[in-house]
A and B are shown apart, each in its own frame.
Chain A
Amino acid sequence: EIVLTQSPGTLSLSPGERATLSCRASQSVPSSSYLAWYQQKPGLAPRLLISDTSKRATGIPDRFSGSGSGTDFTLTISRLEPEDFGVYYCQRYGSPFTFGPGTKVELK
């Protein structure tokens, strides 16, 4: 069973800065279709940001981008906006639909 590890645990940044979030899988993800990213803000349900490693979900601004393959995947936020602060989870798509432990992006 694939285990996902996310780093860093917490990222302290200012608006306008670039955020780079890492997701590492314990074994190779068999297809680029099988990695997704979600954003969660306090008290709210998660929201799909990126599917299939690099496809932005409907309504997601282009400052969010995803990349990677094999065991290493990255979510990049090119210029942080105030509404981007929250927790980000990667997910292995496919049974089991494992989530990583999350990276908290907080205001510096």
Chain B
Amino acid sequence: QVQLQESGPGLVKPSETLSLTCTVSGASISSYYWSWIRQSPGKGLEWIGFISFTGTTKYTSSLESRVTISADTSKNQVDLKLRSVTAADTAVYYCARIMVEGVHGMDVWGQGTTVTVSS
């Protein structure tokens, strides 16, 4: 079955760049859309952005100036970079698959990775 695994540093210093990787198994990233979502402590879900199977990216307006999502098809991985982080970026970060045919939803999620922004 399809599995997603987020990985990356658990601690990032303020003003630095947060870099996370979502490793996909059981499906080719070239066949689907992939999204990043985050959840601040005790808060709800915030959509960050997605990358399509053609490489098109879209981001939430509040993060658009700081975020980049990219794909490495050779490794079957989707990457997230968030620049100039502050404490407000402390959250659990999830990657998820977006289905675009038949089912319109995010049907597979990773377990999430916790990132703390602190000096």
| Chain A residues with a Cβ under 8 A of chain B | 1, 33-34, 36, 38, 40, 44-48, 50-52, 55, 57-58, 89, 91, 93, 95-102
Contact = CB atoms under 8 A, between A and B. Distances in A.
3 closest residue pairs by CB, A with B? A51-B105, A36-B105, A45-B109
Contacts of A33: 104
Contacts, number: 67
Contact of B103 (A1, A47, A55, A99): A55
Interface string B27-61: 00000000101000000111100100000001011
Contacts of B50: 95, 97
Nearest to B108: A48
Given A45-B94, A47-B109, A95-B58, A57 B44 contact: no
Interface residues of B, number: 22
A99 B44 contact: yes
A81 to B, nearest CB: 22
Contacts of A93: 104-105
A45 B112 contact: yes
Contacts of B58: 95-96
Contacts of B82: none
Given A57-B107, A91-B105, A99 B47 contact: yes
Contacts of A98: 47
A50 B109 CA distance: 15
Nearest to B58: A95
Given A96-B61, A97-B47, A34 B104 contact: yes
A27 B98 CA distance: 23
Given A89-B45, A99-B45, A36 B106 contact: yes
B111 interface: yes
A69 B105 CA distance: 17
A36 B106 CA distance: 9
Given A34-B104, A45-B94, A97-B50, 15 more contacts: A1-B61, A38-B106, A40-B45, A45-B110, A46-B37, A46-B94, A51-B99, A51-B103, A51-B105, A55-B103, A91-B45, A97-B106, A99-B37, A99-B44, A101-B44
